[in-house]
Structure 1
Amino acid sequence: MNKLVLVDGNSIAYRAFFALPLLNNEKGIYTNAVYGFTTMLLKILEEEKPSHMLVAFDAGKTTFRHKTFKEYKGKREKTPPELSEQLPVMRDLLKAFNIAYFEVENYEADDIIGTLSSEASKDDDWEVKIFSGDKDLLQLVSDQVHVALSRKGITNVDTYDLAFVDEKYGITPKQIIDMKGLMGDSSDNIPGVPGVGEKTALKLLKEFETIEGVYESIDKVSGKKLKEKLEDNKDSAFMSKQLATIELNAPVDISFDEMKLQDPNYNSLLSLFKELEFSSLIERISPENEEEMQEELEELDISIVENVEEGMLQNPSSVVVEVLDENYHLGDILGLAIVNSSGYYFIPTGVAKDSKVFKAWAEDNTKEKWLFGAKRNVVALAWQGVELNGVTFDSQIASYLIDPSSNFHEIADIAKGKKGISVQTDENVYGKGKKRKIPEEKILAQHLIRKAIAIHELKNDLEKKLEINNQYKLFEELEMPLSIVLGRMERNGVSVDKQELKEMGEVLSEKLQLTEKKIHDLAGTDFNINSPKQLGEILFEKLNLPVIKKTKTGYSTSADILEKLQDKHEIIDKILHYRQLGKLKSTYIEGLLKVIHPNTEKIHTIFNQALTQTGRLSSTEPNLQNIPIRLEEGRKIRHAFIPESKNAVIFAADYSQIELRVLAHISKDEELIKAFKEDMDIHTKTAMDVFHVAEDDVTSQMRRTAKAVNFGIVYGISDFGLSQNLGITRKEAKKFIERYFESYPGVKDYMESIVDEAREAGYVTTMLQRRRYLPEITSRNFNLRSFAERTAMNTPIQGSAADIIKKAMVQMAEEMENNNLQSRLLLQVHDELVFEVVEEELEVMKKLVPKIMENAVELNVPLKVDFSYGSTWYDAK
């Protein structure tokens, strides 16, 4: 028996988009609909085990039905661009899954599904299952065809067979068409007979079977008003039935053989999941008993060094310092590789540490070293008591600047396809997951030497590309010195009061207990608040709150669901607060305690310099840029971050509205520039312009709306996105955006011109020549093109802001060194720099920090820096 699964692609995508909160990955690509769509595909593959499968999509807005009724689907709101941009990604996923997909011009996905299910039903050897969220497809149900309709959410479905259709409606599947003809369908703008709902339609069909039967026996219809409605809308009823009828003979040019399910392309799927940051789904796609294929490479003639000699350390040298552990503050160095004009040398860690010759060479600033991921190498050696100086080239940073959209995690990524360079990925050499292990020294030495050779051979090519792109200055004067600054920050770390963290944990535990008691009192019984099943029963059965979404295991109690119920019962606020406290305790209190270094009693975060496409730094192991500050209990976590020295303070300085100031500069909008030069509150100014009121009449709500519009414009927000942020209609949101552009025409001109420039050049640049390539900007696909346009608007703003604070960091480090200051830069958190300042240098730093930060670059508007200081990071804000 063959099993064909047909999926209504647009319907599932639409449901997934609205069922899940708006998510995006590090690159800014929206992913919530793709994630929901993918979980549905995985569920189908795992549970249905189809032999054949196809996903049908709508080809466009216009279909043959519009010839019958021009207003068909005419009242539907425009698809949010945040969803449209995800549809091409879904097609990429289907390609990786090796699942067929199809669309036909002038027809809908329903017609493709109807045609294929009808064709398969002609042969008793086929069973068909259709997945959709659209009840129209119930008309296709038969002995061989079943329809799985999504309920609330995505993966929870009701499967309709003949018996279930009869139980649910008391009619046959074919009569679903007549039901639609009578009652109409507001979602498709099918008019039907005004005043006739589902109940009346079903009553008529049980008595007269079809619309034709109703009108043939119109005199037998009971109820004068109903009879009049039917008579007055006869043409509408028959037209509506025609519109609701799925075409079973659409020109679907695809064979069943082409729909035969094959094994996924696991490499492509894994790559996509990594790019989309679907880490939780990766384990579900790994093929069973997958054997890692290792490329056979010719063995190199290398020297495994027992005693380091000066002749081995020629100038320049490519260097690899191998640390397998991702957190290189904890991991041991596996070994070192050095490649230069005199040969290939593998130096075991112990040999390097004990060698005075190696240490003298490493610390000599005149000895030129080329690396990949210099910061990682420098920090790893620093932990072993060796200061690596003289780093003049970092191929990872160079590659990142040349194309920030590519994968720069390994040397193998940038060496791929380069003639004469052969280097394997770390995964091939070390394995992955539970199979991950360190190979014998000979294999390890060969691998590290190949990495060093690749660094050596790639340098000239990368330098040429930087020069051609006019990026060498950005590379040499900003990113290279920044890597050293970041390395020092990582190695120095941030002092933490462990006891303070523990006491905070105890306080949070007490608050959790009190909050738990309040919740139990409001519920009238004790239960496990962390159990979604028990919580669901309390909320929706005991307290009878309205059910918004059900899952396979019960009621959904996710945060977005609870937020919709906040005005229904006071228990909801308590539950949300309980969860926030629980996350603070587990993720931030207990999480931070786990990463305090055993030797230094400090936290040594890792700053990712070559990751984001905008150029912004990110922080991991742990992420110190993400400590919650909206909740007071979250802000208090900063109490635990203290100076290392007792005669020092924590000094925090941050840029005020830097992205909006950059927007004013690059858009040259006169009103925006004037507002910043006069030091006006920009959100108040925008509220005055958007709402057409005087400054004294601006309310806090008006300012909040203006703030959302201001920052929304920077990120290319749509009317849908703004409506979600503010809880207003899309129509109102659209009006706000239009008024904004009327008030700031220079911004509107910039947004339009930057898109034109991107279309012509294929990329956009920041003020300091950082590039972001946008190949989709000229795509015929609207969805791809609109994402690229939004990115073109935002990248020069966000990227320039990132460049400015990076430049300030480099200049601050130089000034502090030149003035022999003991104070240190500890952290960078978005637009904020955090220092440890010794008390005798406080007056100097109060003048130096704002001076350097406000003059890092010259803009048409003043850069403004606010600073504060105190005995802890909390007190410095």
Structure 2
Amino acid sequence: MDKLVLIDGNSIAYRAFFALPLLNNDKGVYTNAVYGFTTMLLKILEEEEPSHMLVAFDAGKTTFRHNTYGEYKSGRQKTPSELSEQLPVIREMLDAFEISYTELTNYEADDIIGTLSRQAEEKGWDVKIFSGDKDLLQLVSDKTTVALTKKGITNVETYDKQAIAERYGFEPQRIVDMKGLMGDSSDNIPGVPGIGEKTALKLLREYGSIEQVLESIEHITGKKMKERLQDNKEQALMSKDLAIIFRETPLEVKLTELQRGEYDTKKVIDLFKELEFQTLLAKFDYEEEEQDLEDLVFEKVEEVKEEMLGSPSALVVEVPAENYHNAEIWGIAVVNSTGRYFIPIETALESRVFKNWAGNPAEEKYMVDTKRGVVALGWKGIDLTGVTHDMLIASYLIDPSVSSHNVADIAARKHKNIVNSDDAVYGKGAKRSKPEEGALAQHLVRKAEAIFLLKETLEEELKTNEQYELFANLEMPLSLVLGNMETNGVQVDKKQLENMGEELDTKLAGLEKDIHALAGTEFNINSPKQLGPILFEKLQLPVIKKTKTGYSTSADVLEKLGDQHEIIPKLLHYRQVSKLKSTYIEGLLKVIHSETNKIHTIFNQAITQTGRLSSTEPNLQNIPIRLEEGRKIRKAFVPSEQGWSILAADYSQIELRVLAHIAGDQGLLQAFQNDMDIHTKTAMDVFGAAENEITSNMRRSAKAVNFGIVYGISDYGLSQSLGITRKEAQEFIDSYLASYPNVKDYMEHIKEEARENGYVTTLLHRRRYLPEITSRNFNTRSFAERTAMNTPIQGTAADIIKKAMVEVSEALDSRRLKSRLLLQVHDELIFEVPPEEMDTMKELVPDIMEQTMKLDAPIKADVSYGETWYDAK
């Protein structure tokens, strides 16, 4: 059976644009509408399996309907340029999928769809139409269904004749009569003033067509209704006429030309890669092809000689494993002025010449992902120093919004297509494997060649951006610090973790018993299908939200029901404890290294757009500490040496101090300069009260707005965190900004700076690009404005703690102290310290942290210590 799918191109693109945040690839091309449209396209191809397909677009603003009513569709806002720019890319996507599309001068996409659906019906085909426009419901028939987009992109509601009868109470062709009566503000169809959908439906169900309604005016009750219909007869009929889809357009395209065939997967994949649609790429099981690149001449090294290892040299240490701690090194490549060399890892490990060169700080080296190389070689007993350039870090600083900073992608962005991607050479996922030595050697040498060639280009760009100091004096030395931290790892008491797991099991069993008693029955607490009926039917709690499968029992729903029944706090506690057990206790036990009995987390230096470090395998930044059971997990983190202690040094309110400095607000500055409690001071200023009059609730409110300001507070966000109305929250924010006028000035100034430059910077010139700041979409623009306000604050705070890590590490080395920096978590540095160095470290660490950057609001660091990380707080 032939099946024709017709897509209302402009409607779906418009829906996609406003449903998704404003995205763009590294070339600055906006892609959110293309991404959403493509997601819908893939879903349609998979679920509908059409034999024939076409996407219809509007040809222009003027159509034959303007001859009937010149104001048709007037008053519509101009299409945002960010969307207009994407329409040609959507056509490019359709070309890649080999899907036909068309437009027709003087007609709308609806008319094209109407004409083709009629032709298909006459041939006995099934037809399915996709749109966000209810006008197309008039085309529903025995052979044609219409899928209307709902919330999001791919969520649709399909209408056949029965669904229209249930929804409207009449036949599909009466949709145009409804439009004639109620009009349509989006198309500027006037209808009959004062008649809405409810009245229009009532009249049509009772009398039939709009013509029959107008013929029956004297039988209609209500004087005003009669007058409206009588006075607007012609306008009503014209409105109906405007709403009728014209199904006899002079289309040149023939149904037979719309037959679907197999598309060239490579074309689609290449376009996905260009647009950086990584999630969509993952849907395709493809082998990425290597580019046909001319072979580079290199020497495979059987014995490393000193003359091969010149200075400077580009160095590649290839460790394909995601977790590179003690992982296999596949090979090493070196490129310098004397030549190109591939060194098998066995040769390098046996070579005293290579080891001496790698560990010599005077031998200048260029790398990509220095930390990875330092750690990988470190596990093999080889020290690596003297790295002065890191391609990954340079690219990240130039634009942190770019999704990929691997050698191939960086080289391609700089128009040096001299290296294939790792996926093309090694394969992806389960198919990933080590290639034969010749192909491997050629690939590694190409990587080194790209690093060597692009070093000057990247560093010139950093200098142009005033970022070279940040690169050379902060991020480069930090990569070595992080490498040492990863290699050292942090000791974990496995037995302690196992005991905690047993304690949490006991806690969960007790909570489960309490929950079942409160519910009056036993059920699976982890099953929303079982929990929903218990809460909303048996216990009669108010329904907050429903999903396709029943009642929503999500965390936000339960929190709103917190004071409705004592079962709710128990359920929330149960979920928190259950997550602690599975994610943190079991998760940490899985990643304890079999040889060292330590956890060797990976610190990600080039991921976040604010400059903050993150950690993975495991993520030690997210161990929850608000819940006592979560905080206790820190008891398992212990010193690696007998008799040593854990020392924690924590920046005090660093982001608020940065805000006070950047904004130059005297009220905030004085509070910090006088070492006042900043939240009490804010409460005094906002509430106009003396210090002894400030209650705990007043201080809590002040604390919420203080930290909220840093993250671009909104009245809604503050109302949610404080449990007050949006009006009260806005009044509180207004009072805050009136108390600290320079903060308000800063917020306005930084948004304007972002609009002018397209980016904002930290005090050390770290950049974050914000193309969305000029979006016409309110939500998209508002997010960018909040980001503009908080990035200089968060980013500067990140720079400060990174700088402190470098300076503390240098101090430990220069003083030959045994103490080790183990972890960085948010604004906190964690050390392990021998007893004889504790007094020194208690003074040295906070002193360096407080002096690392001079701010008008003095930086303060608090120090504590104990037998475990838990005891150190």
TM-score, with length taken from structure 2: 0.83
- Deviation track 1:346-397 (CA, whole Å, cap 9, x = no partner) reads 2222222222222222222222222211111011111011111222222222
Cα 1:759–1:542, aligned 2, differ >3 Å: closer, same or farther? closer
Cα deviation 1:425-452 (Å, max 9, x = unaligned):
1111111112110011222112112222
Find 1:266's aligned residue among 266, 269, 272. Answer: 269
Q: Who is 1:512 aligned against?
A: 508
Alpha-carbon distance in structure 1 between the residues aligned to 2:416 and 2:694: 67
1:9-55, Cα deviation, whole Å (9 max, x unpaired): 489669968xxxx999999x999999998765544332123543659
Does structure 1 residue 317 correspond to structure 2 residue 313?
Answer: yes
Matched-pair identity in %: 59
Contact 1:407 1:413 in 2 (8 A): no
- Equivalent residue in structure 2 for 1:446, among 435, 442, 445: 442
1:398 aligned partner: 394
The residue number in structure 1 matching 2:225 is 230
Superposition deviation, residue 320 in structure 1? 1.2
Moved more, 304-313 or 474-483: 304-313
Instruction: Write the distance in 2 (CA, Å) between the matches of 1:241 and 1:170.
Output: 21
1:611 counterpart SS class: coil
Q: 1:528·1:535 contact (CA, 8 Å) conserved in 2?
A: yes
**Residue type of the alignment partner of 1:265:** V
Aligned to 2:481: 485
User: What SS class does the counterpart of residue 119 from structure 2 fall into?
Assistant: coil
Shift of 1:844: 1.8
Q: Are 1:181 and 1:242, in contact at CA under 8 Å, matched by a contact in 2?
A: yes
Distance 2:695 2:59 in 1: 45
Query: What residue is the counterpart of 2:44 in the other structure?
Result: 44
Deviation for aligned residue 1:268: 3.9
- Cα contact 1:608–1:620 (8 A) shared by 2: yes
TM-aligned CA deviation for residue 486 of structure 1: 0.7
Does the 8 Å CA contact 1:649/1:872 hold for their aligned counterparts? yes
The yes-or-no answer on 1:3 pairing with 2:2 is: no
Once structures 1 and 2 are overlaid, which stretch shifts more, 643-652 or 122-131? 122-131
| 8 A Cα contact 2:25 2:31, kept in partner | no
Q: Which amino acid aligns with 2:284?
A: S
Distance in 2, Cα, partners of 1:842 & 1:155: 60
After the TM superposition, which of the residue ranges 826-835 and 561-570 deviates more from structure 2? Answer: 561-570
Contact 2:31–2:86 at 8 Å: present in 1 too? no
Q: Does 1:677 align with 2:673?
A: yes
**Secondary structure at 1:265 match in 2:** helix
Gap change, CA 1:703 and 1:127, over 3 Å in 2: farther
Whole-angstrom distance in 2 between the partners of 1:348 and 1:551: 57
For structure 2, the residue ranges without an aligned partner over 5 or more in a row are none
Of 807-816 and 557-566, more deviation after overlay is shown by 557-566
Please say if residues 178 and 197 of structure 2, whose CA atoms lie closer than 8 Å, have aligned partners that are also in contact.
no
Aligned ranges 1:235-634 → 2 under 5 Å: 247-248=243-244, 265-269=268-272, 278=279, 283=282, 285-286=283-284, 290-416=286-412, 422-539=418-535, 551=547, 553-567=549-563, 569-634=565-630
* 808, 814, 818: which one aligns with 1:818: 814
Inter-partner Cα distance in structure 2 for 1:641 and 1:26:
41
- Within 5 Å, give how 1:17-96 maps onto structure 2: 42-50=42-50, 51-52=52-53, 54=55
Q: What residue identity is the alignment partner of 1:207?
A: E
| 1:327 to 1:668, Cα distance in 2 relative to 1, 3 A | same
Paired residues of 2:217 and 2:229 also in contact (CA < 8 A): no
Deviations 1:56-86 (A, max 9, x none): 89999xx999999999999xxxxxxxxx999
Structure 1, residues 638-659: CA drift from partner, whole Å, max 9, x if none? Answer: 1111111232222222222222
Answer whether contact 1:114 1:140 (CA < 8 A) is retained. no
Alignment of 1:111-126 (within 5 A): 114-125=110-121
In structure 2, relative to structure 1, the CA distance for the partners of 1:163 and 1:857 (3 Å cut) is same
Decide whether the 8 Å contact of 1:114 with 1:247 is kept in 2.
Answer: no
Offset of residue 633 of structure 1: 1.9
**C-alpha deviation, 1:755, in angstroms:** 3.6
Pick closer, same or farther for the CA change 1:404–1:419 going to 2, 3 Å.
closer
CA contact (8 A) 1:825 1:836 kept: yes
Distance in 2 (CA, whole Å) between partners of 1:618 and 1:733 is: 32
The residue identity in structure 2 corresponding to 1:461 is T
CA contact (8 A) 2:624 2:631 kept: yes
SS in 2 for 1:859: coil
**Cα-Cα RMSD:** 4.8
The aligned counterpart of 1:78 is none
State how far apart, in whole Å, the 1-side matches of 2:750 and 2:444 are. Answer: 44
Alpha-carbon distance, 1:585 to partner: 1.5
Q: Show CA shifts across 1:652-705 (max 9, x none).
A: 222222222212211212223233323344344444555555555655555444
| Residues 779, 557 of structure 1: alpha-carbon distance in 2 compared, 3 angstrom cutoff | closer
Structure 1 position 173 matched with structure 2 position 168: no
Moved more, 251-260 or 476-485: 251-260
* Structure 2 CA distance for aligned equivalents of residues 578 and 58 of structure 1: 58
Assess, with a 3 A threshold, how the Cα gap between structure 1 residues 453 and 320 changes in structure 2: closer, same or farther. Answer: same
What residue is the counterpart of 2:868 in the other structure?
A: 872
Q: What CA deviation, in whole Å up to 9, does each residue of 1:521-550 have, x standing for no partner?
A: 444443333344444454556556555555
Change (3 A) 1:207 1:803: same
Q: Which 10-residue stretch deviates more, 149-158 or 453-462?
A: 149-158
Q: Which shows bigger deviation, 663-672 or 798-807?
A: 663-672
CA distance in 2, matches of 1:649, 1:66: 83
Q: Verify the 8 A CA contact 2:13 2:33 in the aligned structure 1.
A: no
Q: Output the amino acid matched with 2:451.
A: I
- The AA in structure 1 aligned to 2:225 is L
CA contact (8 A) 2:329 2:376 kept: yes
In the other structure, the counterpart of 2:159 is 160
Q: Return closer, same or farther for 1:641/1:438 CA change in 2, 3 Å cut-off.
A: same
Q: Distance in 2 between matches of 1:472 and 1:293?
A: 36
Question: 2:640, 2:570 → 1: CA distance?
Answer: 38
- Tell me how far 1:738 sits from its aligned partner: 4.1
**Structure 1 residues 241 and 474, CA gap change in structure 2 (3 angstroms):** farther
In structure 2, the residue matched to 1:77 is none
| TM-score using structure 1 length | 0.83
Partner residue in 2 for 1:146: 145
Moved more, 453-462 or 65-74: 65-74
Shift of 1:328: 0.8
CA contact 1:5–1:128 (8 Å) conserved in 2: no
Amino acid of the residue matched to residue 674 of structure 1? Q
Distance 1:789 1:566, change over 3 A: closer
Cα displacement (A) at 1:242: 8.4
Deviations 1:603-641 (A, max 9, x none): 111111122222211111111111122222222211111
Q: Check 1:486–1:676 CA distance in 2 against 1; reply closer, same or farther (3 A cut).
A: same
> For the Cα contact (< 8 Å) 1:369–1:392, is it kept in 2?
yes
Alpha-carbon distance in 2 for matches of 1:689, 1:177:
61
* Aligned counterpart, 1:836: 832
SS at 2:829 equivalent: strand
In 2, the alpha carbon distance for the partners of 1:617 and 1:446 equals: 34
Q: Which of 744, 747, 756 is the aligned partner of 1:748? A: 744
Amino acid at match of 1:230: M
